[in-house]
A and B are shown apart, each in its own frame.
Chain A
Amino acid sequence: MLSALPSRGLENLQRPSLGSLGPASRLGIPHPAMTAHSFALPVIIFTTFWGLIGIAGPWFVPKGPNRGVIITMLVATAVCCYLFWLIAILAQLNPLFGPQLKNETIWYVRFLWE
């Protein structure tokens, strides 16, 4: 599973070293299933996170005069924040165009991030 890219020295640039999925991955290109995984995992994590807050949270609010207010706040927060995150990730799921970088930036990104 592709996680955060390990930082490599300059000398490793020409030799990407990933393992086991066949010739395509030898060149550092992920298997299409990998892309789906890298989308499914955040979705599961965040859905459960906001689901816990929005659906399970209200059961644990102590009884008191402010119970209704706190439950409403929890549910509203969960809905708003989950929706916002979902929009952000869905907008990037299938990009129609890519970022336009200056050549200096391309050098920098290539050497430092990859």
Chain B
Amino acid sequence: MGSLFRSETMCLAQLFLQSGTAYECLSALGEKGLVQFRDLNQNVSSFQRKFVGEVKRCEELERILVYLVQEINRADIPLPEGETSPPAPPLKQVLEMQEQLQKLEVELREVTKNKEKLRKNLLELIEYTHMLRVTKTFVKRNVEFEPTYEEFPSLENDSLLDYSCMQRLGAKLGFVSGLINQGKVEAFEKMLWRACKGYTIVSYAELDESLEDPETGEVIKWYVFLISFWGEQIGHKVKKICDCYHCHVYPYPNTAEERREIQEGLNTRIQDLYTVLHKTEDYLRQVLCKAAESVYSRVIQVKKMKAIYHMLNMCSFDVTNKCLIAEVWCPEADLQDLRRALEEGSRESGATIPSFMNIIPTKETPPTRIRTNKFTEGFQNIVDAYGVGSYREVNPALFTIITFPFLFAVMFGDFGHGFVMFLFALLLVLNENHPRLNQSQEIMRMFFNGRYILLLMGLFSVYTGLIYNDCFSKSVNLFGSRWNVSAMYSSSHTPTEHKKMVLWNDSVVRHNRVLQLDPSIPGVFRGPYPLGIDPIWNLATNRLTFLNSFKMKMSVILGIIHMTFGVILGIFNHLHFKKKFNIYLVSIPELLFMLCIFGYLIFMIFYKWLVFSAETSRVAPSILIEFINMFLFPASKTNGLYTGQEHVQRVLLVVTALSVPVLFLGKPLFLLWLHNGRSCFGVNRRGYTLVRKDSEEEVSLLGNQDVEEGNNQMEDGCREVTCEEFNFGEILMTQVIHSIEYCLGCISNTASYLRLWALSLAHAQLSDVLWAMLMRVGLRVDTTYGVLLLLPVIALFAVLTIFILLIMEGLSAFLHAIRLHWVEFQNKFYVGAGTKFVPFSFSLLSSRFSDDDSVA
């Protein structure tokens, strides 16, 4: 079998990295993704590790790059993402890169700041111009006057003035003008009225265009106001209120000439500012464009560097403090590649002493490594979602590749729906290199990752749809139906036969709404339809009676075979782990239990199919009743399926009854006998290498004991040997629980497989209902507008088919097929208590801009 059958053998290797070459070696290892590093500094906090300074430097660079990317995105410059990812930068280049990036950041910040200042300035000047223009209209009716002029222009609200004020000739008329936010105008006016008691006159007008507020950056409407007041104190009050309401106050020109001068000055200044601003923006854009070319590769390089330093932090220094030691899990098949990668790294850094590795023996359980390609990865993920396999146990994913789509298809069985699903999956598979599919969102990504699973599911659904003879709920008559209606007519038979059989003629047919064909009449039934279910059943009203019987028996047969296969896979596990006693004391009783009861059920089903026919249908016993009677020993003897049935059943029951105690007690008692009878010690040899004992005693393969002698303390704390004492009570308890679970599980799991029947029935019925409610209604309208009506009906049919029957039913069948695999199949042999092998690989780092989670 390929490497998918079992996980690979792993070994623990120690890498000796010379201090000059450590970085390059890790870079080479990261590119290849061969090994998984073990953390040797677990009790050191992350702030006290050796390379914490370098990590901080990487993070600083990352921060600068994030700022750069932000600015580039803000300026709407396209950011090209390269196809190949650049390698981690050599140490010499890192300093240079750091300086470059820092300089770039400082420059960018300065230019941006300047630009902001210029813009703010520009806005103020524009506001001033608007203000000047609008306030001109306030006083255009009146002649401009000197501030000391006693006469006042006639104003609308002159009732506020009282004549005593006009006597104050020396009072100066002051003006405050500016812009205020639209929302605050009313409150401003009220406040002025209350505070200044009518000694101010406010005129305001709305600006037509909305301007940008320099502080917040929003574009809002402004009102230009002009306040004229008398007296110093009122002036102070007005100014304070203006401050309060965040008005932009600008100096009001006294004469028309002043106004003109100011306006001209403003215009020139605005023009200048526009040019300067334009130039600044161009320069900024240039800088950003230049940075955008290399920012992607820089981001990747910094990420890789940071990952390398994180791994370096996991290594420990040796005694001389010159050499880094790393412990890695490496698959044995990759050891050559590992050596080569170390050589390559040493060569690149130009060190005189190369880095090397050697294998160390260990008792710890290595992580589980299963090599998958893009096709098998989906199925392995399904199995891993339940639990990663223990080290070197049989991997159910190999068989799941076919059984999962098959069980799905049994529940989904429709030729048309399966074909649509197959086409959709084919589309995904053929376009799998299209970049947009690789980077899509979550739901689309889930479908994309499962494209091969969908492909197989669609294919098998096409096949089971052919067998169920169900295509969008209609049957296809490919070979001609084997049920002959004409043979039921009396005209097809000789008169002598008329007396023996119930036959039809035209009036019988006309007067009875439903009539049933009788297969015992010769000629009515002409043999089984060669491929699947006969199409006449689709036209029959008692279709479900036949189909239910067929599908329930089919579900039970498939389920029992699936579960028996699971038990047989367990035998492979026992063989591999050299625990032959498990085969005799656990697997064989399990098989006997399962086959004597449920295997016999399958035998009865097939026997009844083959032996009983329409002639004997009156005496055909119900299988379920026979099965139950097998255990109940009823007093009244029923007909039975075959002669000698009682004796056979009794024998089977005896075998079953004998296998149960063997299952319960066999293994614990055997282990107890081993422990007491054989007093020599051995080590249970599993898939990893053995530990050499101090006494140089070669450890022999007794292969039967869980007992290990003593506590072998090694130099490192992390290679402690787990010592198991022989605990009879625990072993007995475990075995009893396992046996009870197995025996009861046999019954409940067999019944659980009936969901294959239930879901296929549900699918067929839903499909039928959709057809009857939609297409039949549409097809039966035979007036002229019927053709036009058919178009929306077909559209609705297609939409509902996709959403309800394909997506909803598909998800449902998918879920149930997964459950059947995870629970009913895998609990016969799968332990799933391992850890997954996660190599140090740069390909696992995200290579997109949007992900900014750091590599841990």
Contact = CB atoms under 8 A, between A and B. Distances in A.
B614 interface: yes
A72 B1 contact: yes
Contacts of A88: 467, 532-533, 550, 554
Nearest to A85: B467
Interface of B: 1-5, 373, 376, 398-399, 401-403, 406, 410, 463-464, 467, 477, 479-487, 491-494, 509-510, 512-519, 522-534, 536-537, 539-543, 545-546, 549-550, 553-554, 557-558, 561, 606, 609-614, 617, 620
Most central of A39, A89, A95, A105 by chain B CB within 10 Å: A95
Nearest to B533: A88
Contact of B529 (A36, A92, A101): A92
A97 B509 CA distance: 19
Contact of A68 (B4, B373, B526, B534): B4
A73 B4 CA distance: 12
Given A69-B376, A72-B1, A103-B509, A93 B482 contact: no
Contacts of A29: 487, 492-493, 522-523
A84 B524 contact: no
A106 interface: yes
A34 interface: yes
A103 B512 contact: yes
A41 interface: yes
The dominant DSSP class at the A interface is: helix
Contact of A84 (B464, B527, B617): B464
A103 B403 contact: no
A27 to B, nearest CB: 5
Nearest to A25: B523
8 shortest A-B CB distances, which residue pairs?
Answer: A68-B2, A98-B517, A99-B540, A29-B523, A94-B613, A42-B530, A38-B527, A76-B402
A107 B554 CA distance: 33
18 contacts: A27-B494, A29-B492, A38-B528, A39-B527, A66-B373, A69-B398, A72-B2, A76-B401, A84-B464, A87-B550, A91-B554, A96-B614, A100-B540, A100-B542, A101-B540, A101-B541, A109-B539, A114-B485
Given A65-B3, A68-B4, A95-B525, 10 more contacts: A28-B486, A69-B401, A84-B554, A89-B528, A92-B534, A97-B516, A99-B539, A99-B540, A103-B512, A106-B485
Contact of A76 (B373, B403, B515): B403
Contact of A96 (B480, B492, B558, B620): B620
A39 B531 CA distance: 11
A99 B543 CA distance: 7
B510 A103 contact: yes
Contact of B483 (A4, A69, A99): A99
A87 B483 CA distance: 19
A24 B522 contact: yes
Given A27-B493, A94-B614, A76 B399 contact: yes
A14 interface: yes
Nearest to A6: B480
B523 A65 contact: no
Interface in A42-78: 42, 45, 65-69, 72-73, 76-77
Interface string A10-35: 00011010000001100111100011
Most central of B401, B410, B561, B609 by chain A CB within 10 Å: B609
B797 to A, nearest CB: 24
B516 A28 contact: no
Contacts of B491: 14
A100 B401 contact: no
Most central of A36, A45, A68, A87 by chain B CB within 10 Å: A87
Contact of A83 (B376, B477, B549, B558): B558
Contacts of A106: 485, 509, 515
Interface residues of A, number: 59
Contact of B557 (A42, A87, A93, A102): A87
Given A42-B530, A91-B553, A100 B484 contact: no
Contact of B479 (A4, A36, A99, A101): A4
A73 B399 CA distance: 7
A4 B531 CA distance: 13
Given A84-B467, A85-B467, A103 B484 contact: no
Nearest to B620: A96
A69 B464 CA distance: 23
B528 A92 contact: yes
A114 B557 CA distance: 36
Contacts of B398: 68-69, 72
Contacts of B406: 76-77, 80-81, 84
B484 to A, nearest CB: 7
B530 A41 contact: yes
Most central of B481, B553, B610 by chain A CB within 10 Å: B481
B617 A96 contact: yes
A42 B540 contact: no
A77 B402 CA distance: 6
A10 B542 CA distance: 28
A38 B526 CA distance: 8
Contacts of A99: 483, 516-517, 536-537, 539-540, 542-543, 546
A81 B463 contact: yes
Most central of A3, A80, A83 by chain B CB within 10 Å: A80
B317 to A, nearest CB: 40
Contacts of B5: 68
A72 B542 CA distance: 40
Nearest to A108: B539
Contact of A114 (B403, B467, B484, B606): B484
Contacts of A83: 557-558, 561
Nearest to A113: B481
A105 B492 CA distance: 19
A96 B541 contact: no
B610 A94 contact: yes
A80 B610 CA distance: 21
A46 B494 CA distance: 37
B509 A85 contact: no
A98 B524 contact: yes
A92 B546 CA distance: 9
A38 B525 CA distance: 11
Contacts of B541: 100-102
A101 B2 contact: no
A107 B533 CA distance: 22
Nearest to A80: B406
Contacts of B4: 68-69
A24 B620 CA distance: 28
Nearest to A36: B527
A8 B566 CA distance: 53
A4 B481 CA distance: 8
B542 A90 contact: no
A73 to B, nearest CB: 6
Given A96-B620, A100-B516, A28 B609 contact: no
Contacts of A90: 528, 606, 609-610
Nearest to A87: B554
A79 to B, nearest CB: 9
A90 B607 CA distance: 10
A15 to B, nearest CB: 11
Contacts of B540: 99-101
A101 B517 contact: yes
Contacts of A66: 2, 373
A92 B469 CA distance: 13
Contact of B480 (A4, A35, A84, A102): A4
B157 to A, nearest CB: 94
Most central of B403, B515, B542 by chain A CB within 10 Å: B515
A5 B532 CA distance: 18
A28 B410 contact: no
Contacts of A110: 485-486
A87 B413 CA distance: 15
A84 B494 CA distance: 40
A99 to B, nearest CB: 3
A27 B539 contact: no
A55 to B, nearest CB: 16
